[in-house]
Structure 1
Amino acid sequence: MGSLVRVLPALVAAISCFTALAIDIPDLRYLKAYINDDPDGPYHEFLDYSPDLSVQGLDDLSIKRICLTGQWLLYDEHYYNGIDTFIIGLNDCYNLSSSDSISSLRYTGSPYGLNDVYYNLYEGENYGGNEFKGNTNTPTVANLDMNVSSLTINGQSPWTFFTGLQYAGEAVCVYPYGPVSNNGIYLNFYGIGTITDLGLPDNSIRSVAKGCLTDNVYRGDRPHQGEWRPGWKLGHPTSDA
């Protein structure tokens, strides 16, 4: 029993040390929402989805400044609907304009690591509505079967999207952009706000496979290379901090 008593404090100390190291990981995805533009002012930190910001006591016009790492989607309606802003940051901060309305938010990409290989499919154009996501081949996109209007990919692998079940039908391969980097943090990504840009009909995606499995490759805007532009924001305009 005496040996066990001596081991337990050492184990607790080791766990505490590991926890501290985990919290200090520099590429941890986060979003801090400030209620004013004071960088030392009060904020609420998000590490996960929030379909209704009133739960955190934030109404649609109360967020004045954000600091973030990762790709975050901000919506002016609850449950990821309405006009959205797609903001990418690597430990960056932005001041929002007085007209920016945010009622819900979520990130895009893997829940396991910032630059893990992953895809997200969305019911609405510009990343709105219901979502189907994963990091492996899927012969059917289940609840979004023939109901996909936009998508994102993350990590260092391309993905192939098919209009048929079980990897059949028309196919298009999409490569990630980047890597982009900032202070040793790296991110590969690509976002397609409407799948008609891929040459596929809207609501036609039915299965997804990892890798480039077709000669029909979407080129987009230099998908194989990228230069990080600090404060890069997609969506309706915001002002830099």
Structure 2
Amino acid sequence: MKTLLLLLLTGIVATQAKDYNTYDSSYVHYSWGLDYQETLNDGMQNRVSSLRYAGSQATMNEDGFNLYEGVSYTKKEFYGNHDIPDMTKYHEKAVSIIIIGGSSWTFCEDVNYYGHCACLRADQYDSNHYGRLDVGLFPDIHASQVGIYSVRSVRKGCHHA
């Protein structure tokens, strides 16, 4: 049996239960950085069953966002990198959000950028010889200062409804 004790990563989320904790509310560990290395704590050592990457699969630090149906980046995921006036056909059950890149994004509770909206941006970064990685982590939009309870439209930049 293979075990995971150490992470060397460029942006990742590790979950204890399979399928990103879709059917189980087990432990979640998220880390990020460029060539970031850490030893997993006792709660995660030898228990990681799924790993997930946030952001563009093709371009590091491309402006974009990941929406997740579960708290702390669990359950179903949606990645976007452009304006979407009606998210209902894609993913309207967002509970957690990751922002990648240097741009801000406006998330609104109603379609076509109406209703209560929140502007989110990356507030942390790492850099090395590979470049720069900007990250904004919002593990629970309901319990944080984000101030929205659903995501039905999203557009690049900070805008008011």
Q: Same fold (TM over 0.5)?
A: yes
Higher helix share: 1
2:43 and 2:155 mapped to 1: Cα distance?
40
TM-score normalised by L of structure 1: 0.59
Q: Note the C-alpha offset of 1:184.
A: 5.2
Letter in 2 for 1:165: V
| TM-score (norm: length of structure 2) | 0.86
SS in structure 2 at match of 1:112: coil
Aligned to 2:77: 131
Residue deviations 1:106-156 (CA, integer Å, cap 9, x gap): 1111112111001000000111000111100012222422x1101011111
What is residue 188 of structure 1 aligned with on the other side?
134
Q: Paired residue for 1:239?
A: none
1:73 aligns with 2:13: yes
Q: Distance in 2 between matches of 1:187 and 1:163?
A: 28
Distance in 1, Cα, partners of 2:125 & 2:37: 20
SS in 1 for 2:19: coil
Where does residue 51 of structure 1 map in the other structure? none
Unaligned stretches of 5+ residues in structure 1: 1-56, 216-241
Give the Cα separation in 1 of the matches to 2:41 and 2:140: 26
Number of residue pairs the alignment of both structures matches: 152
Question: Alignment identity in percent?
Answer: 32
Between the two structures, name the one with larger relative contact order (CA 8 Å, sep ≥ 6): 2
Partner of 1:91: 35
Aligned to 1:238: none
In the alignment, is residue 144 of structure 1 matched against residue 91 of structure 2?
yes
Which whole-Å CA distance do the structure 2 matches of 1:212 and 1:116 have between them? 17
Structure 2: gaps (5+ residues)? none
Q: Residue 38 of structure 1 aligns with which residue?
A: none
> Counterpart of 1:213?
159
Tell me, in whole angstroms, the C-alpha distance in 2 between the residues paired with 1:180 and 1:97.
Answer: 22
Q: Give the one of 114, 129, 137 matched to 1:168.
A: 114
Deviation for aligned residue 1:185: 2.6
What residue is the counterpart of 1:54 in the other structure? Answer: none
Contact 2:33 2:133 in 1 (8 A): no
Residue 78 of structure 1 deviates from its aligned partner by 0.5
Query: What letter matches 1:72 in structure 2?
Result: I
Higher radius of gyration, 1 or 2: 1
Partner of residue 148, structure 2 = 200
